[in-house]
Structure 1
Amino acid sequence: MKRDTPQEWEVVASKDAVLALDDDNRVLLIRQYRHPVRHLLWELPAGLRDVAGEPLAEAAARELAEEAGYAADTWHTLVDLMSSPGMTDERIRVFLARGLRRTEIDFEHRHEEIDMPVEWIPLPDAVEMALMGMIHNSPAVAGILAAYAASVEGFALLRPADAPEE
């Protein structure tokens, strides 16, 4: 393509995802139907950055409450992803949330959010599921593998939740 040839680009809104890890070292996974791929996928609670000016960690906390009904006392940045930098500027930050507690939130689930089963999977089992091709959602795969790797060092290498994006 010539340099002076007009090019059309589409921009995808960036998002956050939350790997919620309970005191029993289990990961909270959601089963959600995704029509573009026509599959029911294992995913982390996640959402678009759709509230102007909202800090990323607050958006992640909101998504965890809305999709799973949990709040967390401890937040860290687990991993940052660029989903497909040759095609989109989408960035995904996966947070690690610990110190979990149930919360009541008045949120109306719509469309694909209705009746999303929530399951707690032991972290080593989630790693196996990812490596065996049972989990396809990229933030979930990256988050699970990053959490497992970070757990080896007692989570000491994680960045704060408000770490700047590069």
Structure 2
Amino acid sequence: MSIGEEIYQVRGREERFHGRVFSVVTDQVAMPEGRVVARDYLRHVGAVGVVAIDEHDRVALLRQYRHPVGRPLWELPAGLIDVAGEEMPAAALRELAEETDLVAERIELLVDLHTSPGCSNELIRIYLARGLSSVAELNRHERRDEEAGMQLGWFDLDDAVEMVFSGKITNGPCVAGLLAAARSRAQGWASLRPASAPLPS
């Protein structure tokens, strides 16, 4: 049992909103001194992202419109864990194919990220994909809504990292994935974990 489970016990939960991607709940949480307080947060289905790097050390990034911020952002190929029974590595490969028309010979775990733990339980698992090739034309995914307008760009990994520091890339998982990939590459990829590594406890 973790410290949080021992001390911050949930005494009650009320669901305020339920949607396809997330729900909004209010938990009644016991504090260390004994007080019970209300905590509102998003319960998220979880997600995967992919840092896809080709043989020239270029990374595939997508420019996609995000309505909450009112503009397009450069992002990693990514998506929700919303297919019943699908393992996270398979979801990562599916999202890569659907959003970039690419398949990978191998993927490895790069980094796990709680995107906004002050207001959400969302965990995104970010993979490194290498050995890239194109999806056959007949098997390509039909993109709709915001995805229909996505723009695929290829960037030298070092240039993409500079885009982080210049403020041109602000999407959290993209920032984390690019910086983790650059650091791991500098270490000869020694930090990579198996794609099926256990989730953080």
Distance 1:50 1:119 in 2: 26
1:70 pairs with 2:68: no
Alignment correspondent of 1:61:
93
**Separation in 1 of the partners of 2:36 and 2:191?**
45
- 2:135 aligns with 103
Give the drift of 1:107. Answer: 2.0
Alpha-carbon shift at residue 133 of structure 1 (Å): 0.8
2:168 aligned partner: 134
RMSD: 1.6
State how far apart, in whole Å, the 2-side matches of 1:28 and 1:7 are. 38
Q: Normalization by structure 2: what TM-score? A: 0.78
The 4+ residue runs of structure 1 with deviation greater than 6 A are: none
Shift in Å, 1:116:
0.9
Q: How does 1:1-166 map to 2 (within 5 A)?
A: 3-4=35-36, 7-104=39-136, 105-166=139-200
Higher strand share: 2
Distance 2:57 2:79 in 1: 23
Residue identity matched to 1:38:
G
TM-score for both structures, normalised by structure 1:
0.94
CA contact (8 A) 2:40 2:119 kept: no
Amino acid at match of 2:155: I
Looking at structure 1, the residues matched to 98 and 119 of structure 2 have their Cα atoms a distance apart, in angstroms, of: 30
Percentage of matched positions with identical amino acids: 49
Deviations 1:83-110 (A, max 9, x none): 1112111000110000000013342211
SS of residue in 2 equivalent to 1:75: strand
Structure with higher RCO (Cα < 8 A, 6+ apart): 1
Cα displacement (A) at 1:155: 0.7
Q: 1:5 to 1:71 in 2, by over 3 A?
A: same
The whole-number CA distance in structure 1 between the counterparts of 2:162 and 2:38 is 46
Take 1:36 and 1:127, find their aligned partners in 2: how far apart are those partners?
24
The 1:25–1:7 alpha-carbon spacing in structure 2 relative to 1, beyond 3 Å, is closer
Gaps of 5+ in 1: none
Deviations 1:34-75 (A, max 9, x none): 011011100000000001221100000000000000000111
